[in-house]
């Protein structure tokens, strides 16, 4: 009684106390209480207590539902019947009580059915038990109907802590009880006020896709009731749900095909088609229109393969879907978009025509089908393009509404792409060009004229750019000629710039493309001066043009350089942000790549100058000033240099540049090594230089590595590790670098091993762990002959064992991949000679590694990491065969039988045995996933398993 009063007081505090701290404390206490064994009795008592208020009833019903779902194993086996009877009493008690409470109790009974085999409920399982209860207590039928609705929904509810075998058995029990369940629902149809509830429950059972013959369903009273409700003045939501499920039921993979399902299809389709006139009925409620549109969309999605044949009957559905697509409300019209995409794929992909045999037949049928649907897709285009037009009050819309409008534009762009694939790019372009011409005729040169139709047409033209031939000569030249005539309104200019960028390949390949470049670049310059959004679009377009037209632009380098310099120096009217200026950096770098080597060196020096000069000026002011600068004042220049070194593909020129710049880089390394942001940016520039120059770096690479090797020991910046990783990739196999690289990796790894000695270290510095083990994997791939014989290899394995269970995704994956690379060493030609060294380190640690990996599999890591853990465990098993199996047997024997049964253990070990024998890994995933699911089925079991496997019982003592 005392605990019951405490629960009531805590709930009162949670909902009514004015102090936030008290409410949070009450919430924590209640959550902890729900996990206790006492919660069963207390929640049950309070639910039976007539004086409990609604807050108490809702909380206790949720608690009881949660306990049945997750903690049913806490109860002795003889507790089932008293619990079932209590829940049954509560269902009857609350048959007219709060709906939330009744639903929670129904879910608790359904969860009980998942846990408890059918035989324990009596002959016929829970469905027969339910039938008897309904016959004995007809006054409580509404409550029992809710239970009948939620029961099939719980089949795939993985919050219920049932074992996989029991879940599969429950699925079979429901399948065998389907006929009885539908008979119960049919009997309840006679009670008119329960019709909605009956149909909702029917829809729920249909979702299970248990095979009921189509001939039976087509004349089934429940189906006929749902179909007849479609003609009611007020459309029944439950009827729509039933018809929707029936549509998908007839098209399910295991349905047996159209011929088998034809009786049901013939019953459904005419009834749905008869609703088409209502789509245009102004007296109809919008929710009803939405429901009707949903049924047409469901038919389109379910029968798309049939529709694609282009028969007269299927075209009736297509016309109905065009009617839906024409609805002014986007939420309704967009219901059809998935259908148009799937239809396009079937019409255009060769896979759809395999049954037609030879090439001639395939092409004939493909041409026939495309011709049938041409007018439909043309109509679709005319129905959707108006939706991309900016509303007049766009700037007054809320931020959320503006985002919604942009999402609408993206969705329409996808539909236009589908249309272009069916109609062909050029015919589509002609349609949109006519829209553009019409819009421009109403659009003057001043900003006050209505620019929106022209912008919308251009947006659509840009959307299909990938589907227009690079040498199209009829329409594209006319479009390009129109662009300079458009007013410089911000949104319009932004779209003009993006359209120019989208057709950069055409500008390069088309015979008239070159003649347009000067005036188009002038438009981009105007875009950079208008506003931040148009400047961003112009910078991106500039990059595309320079990438695709770089050969043509080599002679215009001076003009391009002037634009670049104005933008990056922040001079003049340009409104290009530092981030968007990187597009200009990349653009110029791509053009420089096309220059001869002797010219490229000078051009590279010039393009670096706007970034180098400010850095040199800061350094000249002395270490104190350099140390006081904000990171942003330095990184803006290093980010640009990083992009230059990445995109100027002249290895010798980049190597010369980095050699000249090294004194500047070293000065900043020396003074700012404590500053993570600056170091990351500087290391990115160095990494790109190394990647481009490769072995031409010469003496600079030695100086660079010496610098970071010394600084890493003091400042432990992770970026020093990823820069070293790039060096290992390029120089790892070079014998002349072996001694130097050996010293480097031993230094970096020994420092890191001292930093990461317990799991808390990994948690606090996951970035170091991530980059360290990425570097270690690189060493395994590119210089195993240096890594495995080194003194740091054993300590890195020990370090990995400590850190495997770190919750940080990237760090954890890097560690697991590092171990997998070690286990897979036999697959590497470079690493074969190191197998014996590997084995002397791994075999003594094998039992512990296996224990930790199995702990990760069974709950120490989240399920999102399962695939990577499974691969590591199977790689270990493949590498060490019978030894690994013995290690695994020893580990799983530690898990108590209350958590894992002997059968579950055996299946898991058999999967590992098959892996050791060389079986395909894909076939072994199910038993491994199942032991993971079993061990995670609830918190108690997970704690038992982790307590037995002790994945954290391992620390490294720093030497």
Query: Minimal CA–CA distance to 33: which of 8, 15, 58?
Result: 8
Q: How far is CA 297 from CA 293, 333, 838, in A?
A: 6, 10, 59
Whether 604 and 644 have beta carbons less than 8 Å apart is answered as: yes
In this structure, what are the phi and psi dihedrals at residue 432, rounded to the nearest 5 degrees?
-70, -35
> From CA 876, how far away is CA 916, in angstroms rounded?
9
Whether 113 and 83 have beta carbons less than 8 Å apart is answered as: no
How far from the centroid of its chain's Cα atoms is residue 265's Cα? 35
What average pLDDT does range 206-228 have in this prediction? 89
Q: Does pLDDT of 956 surpass 80? A: no
Q: Does pLDDT of 958 surpass 50? A: no
Query: Minimal CA–CA distance to 688: which of 553, 594, 585, 614?
Result: 585
3-state secondary structure of 588: helix
User: 326 pLDDT band (50/70/90 cuts)?
Assistant: very high
Mean pLDDT of the chain: 93
Q: Does pLDDT of 399 surpass 90? A: yes
What average pLDDT does range 689-713 have in this prediction? 91
Task: Spell out a b/e string for 315-335, using b for 16 or more CB atoms within 10 Å of the CB, else e.
Answer: eebbebbbbbbbbeebebbbb
Complete DSSP assignment for 906-927:
HHHHHHHHHHHTT--GGGGHHH
Complete DSSP assignment for 386-405:
GGGSPPTTGGGS-HHHHHHH
- Does the pTM of the predicted model rise above 0.95? no
What average pLDDT does range 661-685 have in this prediction? 96
User: 284 pLDDT band (50/70/90 cuts)?
Assistant: confident
What average pLDDT does range 3-7 have in this prediction? 93
861-917: per-residue pLDDT in tens? 999 999 999 999 999 999 999 999 999 999 999 999 999 999 999 999 999 999 999
Q: Does pLDDT of 651 surpass 50? A: yes
How far from the centroid of its chain's Cα atoms is residue 832's Cα? 38
Whether 242 and 206 have beta carbons less than 8 Å apart is answered as: yes
> From CA 759, how far away is CA 772, in angstroms rounded?
15
Helices 258-273 & 221-229, crossing angle to 10 degrees? Answer: 30
Where does 794-836 show beta strands of DSSP type E?
none
Complete DSSP assignment for 674-733:
T-HHHHHHHHHHHHHHHHHHGGGGTHHHHHHHHHHHHHHHHH--HHHHHHHHHHHHHHTT
Residue with tokens 């039921």: 249
702-722: per-residue pLDDT in tens? 899 999 999 999 999 999 999
Q: How far is CA 74 from CA 43, 78, 161, 932, in A?
A: 15, 12, 11, 20
3-state secondary structure of 763: helix
367-380: per-residue pLDDT in tens? 999 999 999 999 99
User: 833 pLDDT band (50/70/90 cuts)?
Assistant: confident
What average pLDDT does range 571-576 have in this prediction? 86
Query: Minimal CA–CA distance to 831: which of 795, 797, 879?
Result: 879
Whether 711 and 717 have beta carbons less than 8 Å apart is answered as: yes
């Amino acid at each position: 009684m005392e605990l019951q009063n405490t629960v009531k007081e805590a709930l009162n505090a949670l909902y009514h106390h004015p102090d936030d701290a008290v409410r949070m404390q009450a919430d924590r206490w209640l959550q902890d209480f729900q996990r206790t064994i006492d919660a069963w009795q207390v929640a049950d008592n309070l639910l039976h207590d007539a004086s409990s208020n609604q807050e108490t009833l809702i909380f206790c019903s949720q608690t009881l539902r949660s306990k049945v779902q997750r903690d049913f194993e806490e109860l002795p086996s003889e507790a089932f019947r008293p619990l079932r009877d209590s829940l049954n009493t509560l269902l009857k008690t609350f048959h007219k009580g709060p709906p939330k409470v009744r639903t929670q109790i129904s879910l608790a009974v359904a969860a009980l059915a998942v846990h408890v085999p059918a035989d324990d409920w009596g002959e016929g399982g829970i469905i027969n038990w339910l039938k008897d209860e309904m016959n004995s207590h007809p006054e409580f039928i509404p409550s029992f109907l809710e239970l009948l609705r939620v029961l099939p929904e719980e089949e795939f509810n993985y919050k219920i802590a049932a074992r996989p075998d029991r879940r599969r058995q429950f699925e079979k029990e429901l399948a065998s009880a389907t006929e009885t369940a539908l008979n119960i629902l049919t009997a309840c149809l006679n009670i008119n006020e329960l019709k909605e509830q009956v149909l909702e429950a029917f829809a729920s059972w249909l979702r299970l896709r248990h095979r009921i013959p189509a001939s039976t369903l087509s004349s089934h009273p429940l189906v006929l009731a749902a179909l007849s409700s479609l003609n009611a003045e007020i459309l029944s939501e439950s009827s729509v749900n039933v018809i929707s499920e029936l549509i998908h039921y007839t098209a399910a993979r295991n349905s047996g095909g159209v011929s088998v399902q034809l009786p049901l299809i013939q019953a459904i389709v005419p009834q749905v088609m008869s609703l088409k006139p209502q789509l245009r009925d102004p007296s109809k409620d919008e929710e009803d229109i939405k429901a009707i549109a949903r049924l047409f969309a469901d038919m389109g999605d379910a029968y798309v393969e049939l529709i694609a044949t282009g028969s007269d009957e299927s075209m009736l559905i297509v016309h109905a879907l065009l009617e839906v697509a024409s609805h002014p409300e986007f939420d309704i019209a967009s219901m059809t978009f998935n259908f148009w995409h799937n239809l396009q794929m079937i019409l255009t992909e060769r896979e759809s025509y395999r049954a037609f045999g030879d090439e001639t037949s395939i092409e004939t049928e493909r041409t026939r089908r495309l011709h049938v649907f041409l007018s439909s897709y043309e109509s679709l285009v005319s129905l959707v393009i108006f939706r991309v037009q900016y509303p007049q009050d766009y700037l007054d819309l809320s931020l959320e509404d503006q985002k919604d409008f942009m999402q609408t534009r993206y969705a329409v762009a996808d539909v236009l792409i589908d249309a272009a694939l069916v109609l062909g790019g050029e015919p589509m372009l002609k349609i949109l060009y006519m829209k553009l011409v019409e819009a421009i005729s109403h659009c003057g040169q001043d900003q006050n004229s209505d620019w929106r139709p022209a912008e919308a047409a251009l947006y659509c033209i840009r959307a299909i750019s990938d589907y227009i031939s690079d040498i199209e000569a009829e329409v594209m030249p006319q479009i390009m000629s129109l662009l300079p005539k458009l007013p410089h309104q911000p949104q319009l200019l932004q779209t003009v710039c993006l359209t120019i960028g989208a057709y950069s390949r055409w500008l390069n390949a088309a015979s008239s493309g070159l003649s347009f470049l000067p005036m188009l670049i002038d438009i981009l310059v105007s875009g950079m001066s208008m506003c931040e959004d148009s400047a961003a679009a112009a910078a991106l377009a500039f990059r595309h043009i320079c990438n695709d037209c770089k050969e043509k632009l080599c002679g215009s380098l001076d003009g391009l350089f002037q634009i670049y310099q104005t933008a990056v120096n922040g001079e003049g009217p340009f409104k290009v942000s530092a981030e968007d200026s990187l597009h200009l950096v990349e653009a110029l770098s791509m053009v420089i790549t096309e220059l001869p080597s002797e010219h490229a060196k000078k051009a590279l020096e010039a393009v670096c100058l706007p970034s180098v000069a400010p850095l040199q000026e800061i350094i000249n002011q002395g270490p104190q000033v350099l140390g006081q600068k904000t990171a942003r004042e330095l990184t803006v220049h290093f980010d640009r240099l990083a992009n230059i070194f990445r995109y100027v593909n002249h290895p010798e020129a980049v190597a010369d540049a980095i050699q000249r710049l090294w004194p500047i880089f070293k000065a900043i390394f020396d003074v700012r090594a404590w500053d993570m942001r600056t170091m990351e940016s500087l290391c990115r520039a160095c990494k790109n230089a190394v990647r481009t120059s490769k072995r031409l770096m010469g003496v600079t690479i030695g100086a660079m590595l010496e610098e970071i090797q010394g600084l890493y020991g003091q400042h432990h910046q992770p970026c020093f590790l990823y820069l070293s990783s790039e060096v290992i990739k390029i120089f790892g196999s070079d014998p002349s670098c072996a001694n130097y690289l050996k010293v480097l990796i031993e230094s970096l790894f020994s420092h890191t091993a001292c930093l990461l000695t317990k799991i808390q270290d990994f948690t606090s510095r996951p970035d170091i762990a991530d980059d360290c083990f990425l570097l270690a994997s690189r060493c395994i791939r590119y210089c195993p002959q240096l890594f495995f014989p080194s003194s740091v290899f054993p300590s890195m394995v020990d370090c990995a064992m400590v850190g495997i269970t770190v919750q940080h995704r990237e760090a954890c994956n890097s560690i697991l991949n590092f171990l997998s690379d070690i286990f897979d060493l036999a697959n590497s030609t470079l690493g074969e000679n190191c197998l014996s060294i590997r084995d002397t380190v791994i075999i003594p640690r094998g039992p512990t590694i296996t224990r930790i990996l199995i702990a990760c599999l069974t709950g120490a890591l989240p399920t999102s990491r399962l695939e990577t853990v499974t691969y590591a465990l199977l790689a270990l098993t493949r590498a060490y065969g019978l030894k690994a199996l013995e290690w695994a047997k020893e580990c799983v024997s530690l898990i108590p039988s209350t958590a894992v049964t002997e059968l579950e253990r055996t299946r898991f070990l058999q999967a590992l045995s098959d892996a050791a024998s060389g079986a395909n890994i894909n076939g072994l995933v199910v038993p491994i996933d199942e032991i993971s699911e079993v061990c995670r089925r609830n918190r108690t079991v997970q704690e038992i398993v982790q307590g037995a496997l002790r994945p954290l019982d391992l620390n490294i003592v720093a030497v």
